[in-house]
Structure 1
Amino acid sequence: MHILSHATYRINLELCRCECFNLYEQQVPYGQAWAWQKSVVNKKKTLIERNEDCPDSLFVLQHRLVYTLGTASSEQFLNFDVKDSPFDIYRTERVGEVTYHGPGQIVMYPLMNLRNHKMDLHSYLRSLEEVIIRALSKTFCIKASRLEGLAGVWHGDQKLAAIGIRVSQWITYHGLELNVTTDLTPFRSIVPCGLRDYQVGSVRGLLKEFQSSADCKRARLPDPDDGQLLDITCKSLIQEFSEVFQVRINYEAISRLESLERICRPFGRGN
């Protein structure tokens, strides 16, 4: 049994608490996850108004096939008639243009009380990118990076992860998506994030490239199946999230959200 030293235990207790709903094995309908976020944000605002402890929260999940648009997204980036969409479409409060969510893509929705951290949105965005960059580097030897002037995480000209957030009274919601084993075909029906001159990539796709290359170090990486790859990536992302934001992860049961779900107004399809 691993026993923490008194010093380590004391440090862990001093970290901000983050309740984590790890549902990555489930394909959660977008409307349901959106409703959960809005309910938790409202709860956090109430806690702050009462001057009570307001911990951070984190949702980790996959979505069923869906396109989402930001609050000011342009329909010119849809390569189909919006009235005849191949999947559901949601127009949301987040910033950014159209993107796609689907199986094989890990989505993280941090609902952070930035009063517990740095009240700086630029810093917050860079920290989200840092979580992904570290996870890809440490776990898969993928050299991911930022591109100046663009949000997200890249490998060369391939965008691996997109970020779109909303902040209300210093409470964040929406978040990031990382293509792990994602079927990238649905991205062809849109101009992802409004960027016409870039490609979309995935962790699985890059690992296949590495295994067929002459890079022996990368070629020796294990070749997990899709389920294992999602599991490995999810654990790495949560670990790096904990370290980057200096939070103590407390895993919570989905039953905690049931009462919130009942009071949420329904979210239908539409934009």
Structure 2
Amino acid sequence: MQRVLKVEDLGLRDYKETWDYQEALFQKILELKKANHKQIAPIKQTPNYFLFVEHPHVYTLGKSGHIENLLIPEEKLKEINATFYKINRGGDITYHGPGQIVGYPILDLENFFTDIHKYMRLLEEMIILTLGEYGLNAMRSKGETGVWLDVGTPFARKICAMGVRASRWVTMHGFALNVNTDLGYFDNMIPCGIKGKAVTSLNVELGRAEIPVEEVKEKLMKHFLHLFDATQIEKTEA
């Protein structure tokens, strides 16, 4: 099985431009799988990608989401330099912005395992292990995808949101880890459609002005490669 990973760091990139790029890679893998299945060309191994990116302020609504969870009128978004998109991942509404690490694994899961539940749990485990390196006891919250702190207490707060799309075992979209994020932007929505739960970031939890983003990315990739038994062939920068 092809467990080699091409890692691309796109830097600060417009959400729609990145979404289009994801879709192009996603369709490329699907088309290759279709050709392999029909054996209309020599069998080729399907590639696996992992995109790191940081987005300008943007709110995205998943296909099962509710627009009511965006708490400001869409016409007010320009005033806060934000955009809004309805997209084709699972989940409800979330926010992306500067200081947040967004990761988009575009994988052919048939190269790894064919289990979406396991895939989501391993993504969560990658975040949990990374935060553990900073001394944080991050965990899952039953029935709520993502990674949290102080689950089961009145102080429960979410530090990483997740939402994916999969077709024929090919994935896209992924996770958003708050590192040095302006948490004020979360006040304009009900995060992931879950009322009464707070949101936090790594720098707030550690009481530091800023956490080196590249350092966090390196830890994330180390744990991803271990959990998925994968190897990294190259890393390209924007």
In the alignment, structure 1 residue 243 sits paired with structure 2 residue 237: no
Match of 1:146 in 2: 140
Please state if 1:107 is matched with 2:102.
Answer: yes
Following TM superposition, by how much is the alpha carbon of 1:61 offset from its aligned partner in structure 2, in angstroms?
Answer: 1.2
Which residue pairs with 1:268 in the alignment?
A: none
Matched with 2:118 is: 123
One-letter amino acid of the structure 2 residue matched with residue 196 of structure 1: K
Structure 1 residue aligned with 2:41? none
Number of equivalenced pairs? 223
What's the offset of the Cα at 1:75?
1.2
Q: In the alignment, is the contact (CA less than 8 A) between 2:58 and 2:83 conserved in 1?
A: yes
Counterpart position of 2:17: 32
Contact 1:96 1:193 in 2 (8 A): yes
Amino acid in the other structure paired with 1:118 = F
Residue 16 of structure 2 is aligned to residue 21 of structure 1: no
Q: How many percent identity over aligned positions?
A: 32
Q: Following the alignment from structure 1 to structure 2, what is the Cα–Cα distance between the partners of residues 243 and 160?
A: 22
Kindly provide the CA deviation profile for residues 196-242 of structure 1, in whole angstroms up to 9, marking residues without a partner as x.
Answer: 1110010001101xxxxxxxxxxxxxx6x63x521211110111111
CA shift, 1:56, in A, is: 1.1
Higher helix proportion (structure 1 or 2): 1
Q: State TM-score, norm by structure 2.
A: 0.89
Q: Residues 22 and 251 of structure 1 are in contact (CA less than 8 Å); yes or no, is this contact kept in structure 2?
A: no
Structure 2: where are the runs of 5+ without partners? 37-43, 151-155
Separation in 1, partners of 2:57, 2:227: 30
Q: Distance in 1 between matches of 2:64 and 2:142?
A: 22
- Structure 1 residue 253: Cα displacement: 3.2
Aligned counterparts of 1:54 and 1:134: Cα–Cα separation in 2: 28
Residue number in structure 2 paired with 1:198: 197
- Letter in structure 2 aligned against 1:124: Y
SS at match of 1:140: coil
1:136 corresponds to: 131
Match of 1:55 in 2: 47
1:81 aligns with 2:73: yes
Q: Is the 8 A contact 2:101 2:178 kept in 1?
A: yes
Which whole-Å CA distance do the structure 2 matches of 1:147 and 1:96 have between them?
Answer: 15
* TM, length-normalised to structure 1: 0.79
Deviation at 1:73, TM superposition (A): 1.3
User: Could you tell me how far 1:252 is from its partner in structure 2?
Assistant: 4.0
Give the RMSD, CA atoms, in angstroms.
Answer: 1.6
CA distance in 2, matches of 1:130, 1:253: 25
User: One-letter code of the match for 2:227?
Assistant: V
Task: Report the 3-state secondary structure (helix = DSSP H, G, I; strand = E; otherwise coil) of the residue aligned with 2:212.
Answer: helix
2:88 to 87, 93, 107: 93
Tell me how far 1:72 sits from its aligned partner: 2.4
2:212 corresponds, among 215, 229, 238, to 229
Q: Secondary structure at the match of 1:54?
A: coil
One-letter amino acid of the structure 2 residue matched with residue 133 of structure 1: I
- Distance (Å, rounded) in 2 between the aligned partners of 1:140 and 1:172: 29
Contact 1:19 / 1:252 at 8 angstroms: preserved in 2? yes
Partner-residue secondary structure (3-state), 1:109: strand
CA distance in 2, matches of 1:60, 1:129: 16
8 Å CA contact 2:2, 2:111 repeated in 1? no
Picking from 31, 54, 66, the partner of 2:58 is 66
C-alpha contact 1:15 1:246 (8 A) present in aligned 2? no
Deviation at 1:169, TM superposition (A): 1.4
CA–CA distance in structure 2, aligned partners of residues 55 and 200 of structure 1: 35
Deviations 1:62-110 (A, max 9, x none): 1111000001211111111123324210100001111100000000000
| 2:95–2:185 CA contact under 8 A, matched in 1 | yes
How big is the shift at 1:254? 5.7
Q: How many Å apart are 1:193 and its aligned residue?
A: 0.3
